[in-house]
Amino acid sequence: MMKKPLLICLALTALARLSAAPQDAAPQTYLAGISTEMKVLWPANHTINLVCHGHSVPAGYARTPEVRTFDAYPYLMHRGLSERFPHAVVNVVVTAIGGENSEQGARRFEKDVLSLRPELVTIDYGLNDRSIGLVRAEKGWRSMIEAALAAHIKVVLLTPTADLSAKLDDPKDPLNQHAEQIRGLAVEYQVGLVDSLAAFKNYVHKGGNLPDLMAQVNHPNRKGNELVAAELLKWFPLDN
């Protein structure tokens, strides 16, 4: 029969291993430094650059070829930050290109993103990465994440927004598989995660109709973008 001290020892060892396991970044603390900078008053403040990198969704495409910049989540996030931090000079730069995948985004990451010396970069390629598959997509995401972290830039990854042609209740659907891979990367690198796909699913779970969030089969409308922006804004707490 195992003695109690040994049982306690084993339990503590298991708890220590669990505590040491990689975890995703916490919304209340990960961008606390940036939030603090946004509270600094003139003339001690400085311009804070945030970059939104990705494909057509952050680029603002609605019903292709129509672009609705002011309905897209980068603008909605910018507006929300300006309201939350009225003394901050925030510059949100969109480097997204419609139709692009993460391989292409990674190739121009240094030139188009790192050159701006942002405090934060968001990455959103899940929808289009279905065309290149999980292995190639993972390589592209890792390249961008590691380059940003090496430059001491904070990173927030976004899972894809919904697609009306996807089977959202099927774990084997490519959209779900790419979302799961992105979640895993956020945990591995301990960076921020905005789970857009989970937000869309939660809307449906609560009785909403998915088409109400969509401008076309694979692009969210303003209401859908508002869900993403709201999740992004959770990473910029006023109290930290």
Tell me phi and psi for residue 186, to 5 degrees: -60, -40
* 206 neighbors 4 (Cβ within 8 angstroms): no
Q: Are 163 and 127 in contact (CB under 8 A)?
A: yes
Question: In 110-213, where do the E strands start and end?
Answer: 120-124, 154-158, 192-194
Helix (H, G, I), strand (E, B) or coil at 219: strand
Q: What is the pLDDT along the chain (240 residues), one digit of tens a residue?
A: 444 444 444 444 444 444 444 566 899 999 999 999 999 999 999 999 999 999 999 999 999 999 999 999 999 999 999 999 999 999 999 999 999 999 999 999 999 999 999 999 999 999 999 999 999 999 999 999 999 999 999 999 999 999 999 999 999 999 999 999 999 999 999 999 999 999 999 999 999 999 999 999 999 999 999 999 999 999 998 876
- Residue 90's region, left for phi above 0, alpha for psi from -120 to 50, else beta, is beta
CA pair distance 76, 37, nearest whole angstrom: 20
Amino acid at 117: R
Tokens of 211: 């088409």
Nearest to 178 by CA among 128, 216, 218: 128
Which tokens sit at 114?
């790192």
Give which of 217, 166, 226 is closest to 64, Cα–Cα. Answer: 217
Contact 193, 25 (CB under 8 A): yes
Q: What is the pLDDT of residue 144?
A: 98
Asked if residues 121 and 153 have their Cβ atoms less than 8 Å apart, the reply is yes
What whole-number distance in Å separates Cα of residue 86 and Cα of residue 18?
41
Name the pTM for this structure: 0.89
Residue 166, sorted as left (phi over 0), alpha (psi -120 to 50) or beta, turns out to be beta
Q: 105, 140 in Cβ contact below 8 A?
A: yes
Helix (H, G, I), strand (E, B) or coil at 166: coil
pLDDT score at 238: 85
At residue 158, the pLDDT reads 98
Question: So what's the pLDDT on residue 3?
Answer: 45
Q: DSSP code of 209?
A: -
Under 8 Å CB-to-CB from 71, ≥6 apart: which residues?
A: 60, 62, 221, 222, 225
CATH architecture classification, 25-233? 3-Layer(aba) Sandwich (3.40)
